[in-house]
Amino acid sequence: MIAEVSEKLIDQFVDCIEQELLGEAIIEQVAAEHPDHVGRGHLSNLHPIADFEAKETVARCGMTGPELGRATRVLAALARLQRDYDMTLAEINPLARLSDGSFVALDAHMEMEDEAVGRHKRVLEEIGVDLSEPREMYEPSEFERNVKAIDAADHRGVIQGKDHGFHGNLGLVIGAGGGSLTLTDAVRSQGGKPANYAEIGGNPSVAKSCGLAKQVLQKDGVEKIAVMMSIVSNTRVDIVARGVIKACLELGRDPAETIVIFRIPGAWEDEGSKILDRYGVEYCDRSVSMWEAAGRAVAKVQGEAA
């Protein structure tokens, strides 16, 4: 259906004499150079999208005459499509005007939000979108695939690991969302070279914490890990402590040598510190800032390397 229509459109397009085509517009450039060519409209997510709202937006670009109504139909349909199908982006670019004054989309780009894919499975199948096809920006590494599999095997808590773009020697077992960003910055700003990015959150099981730590330790060039989080209220310090120690022992490494620092203050911290103490691992409570903890980890790894 779609192919047939496009062929016809292309024929028409080639045949058209009064071809008016600006070429593919880069909207940011148009906005900067010709602000009067850009119409902005605000859509309700709650109420039906009225045609007049699309018309107002088209009129703001300076369109009038018969083309106003024709372009309004295109924009209204696009706006409804964006909203009703959970698109984070719906773009027709370029839109061509044929000799008879009608508009055709020569190219279009749609992005559906991941969280909403589930409720549009049928339509995605109909138009032939393969949901098994990875839509990542790059091929996931073995580390990333393994961490994902460990995470998926157990519903308690969340672990994530990324190593795309990380090439260092300091393994990071860190969390949670904001804490991981903060700690990765703190390691790098103090001259450390992270081997990966990670996130622990939502109170993962011993198996999950252990699995993440093992994956990090098995990365090429990683001898040491730093285990650090912002103050936790849900994730239990003792469970993470058990997990990372188990990882060291299972890989035949001495926890005291391998874990350069353990800085997770918060829930069950007394129990956690006792476990760590038994294995000779340095525990830091909240009196050691995230920056200081990261700095100590970097110093220990670099001292070792020097």
* Chain positions contacting other proteins, by CB under 8 A: 44-46, 83, 86, 88, 113, 115-116, 119, 137, 162, 164-165, 175-182, 184-186, 188-189, 197, 199, 201, 229-234, 265-267, 286-287, 289-292
Cβ 207 to other proteins shortest distance, Å: 19
DSSP state of 192: -
Burial readout 218-243 (b: 16 or more C-beta within 10 A, e: otherwise) = ebeebbbbbbbbbebeebbbbbbbbb
Cβ 109 to other proteins shortest distance, Å: 14
Contacts of 238 (CB under 8 A, 6+ apart): 268, 271, 272, 275
Q: Taking a C-beta distance cutoff of 8 angstroms, is the pair 143, 163 a contact?
A: yes
Task: Name the residue nearer to other proteins (CB basis): 115 or 133.
Answer: 115
Task: Name the residue nearer to other proteins (CB basis): 201 or 272.
Answer: 201
Cβ 28 to other proteins shortest distance, Å: 8
Name the residue with tokens 């229509």.
5
Cα separation of 200 and 50, whole Å? 45
Cα separation of 166 and 201, whole Å? 21
Cβ 29 to other proteins shortest distance, Å: 13
Tokens at residue 273, please? 């510190």
Cβ 54 to other proteins shortest distance, Å: 18
Task: Name the residue nearer to other proteins (CB basis): 279 or 291.
Answer: 291
Full DSSP string of 53-98: HHHHHHHHTT--THHHHHHHHHHHHHHHHHHHTTEEEEEE-SEEE-
Q: Dihedral sign for Cα 279, 284, 285, 291, please.
A: negative
Beta strand 224-229 with 259-263 is parallel
Task: Name the residue nearer to other proteins (CB basis): 36 or 115.
Answer: 115
Task: Name the residue nearer to other proteins (CB basis): 63 or 90.
Answer: 90
Q: Taking a C-beta distance cutoff of 8 angstroms, is the pair 277, 269 a contact?
A: no
Cβ 199 to other proteins shortest distance, Å: 7
Task: Name the residue nearer to other proteins (CB basis): 101 or 178.
Answer: 178
Cβ 86 to other proteins shortest distance, Å: 5
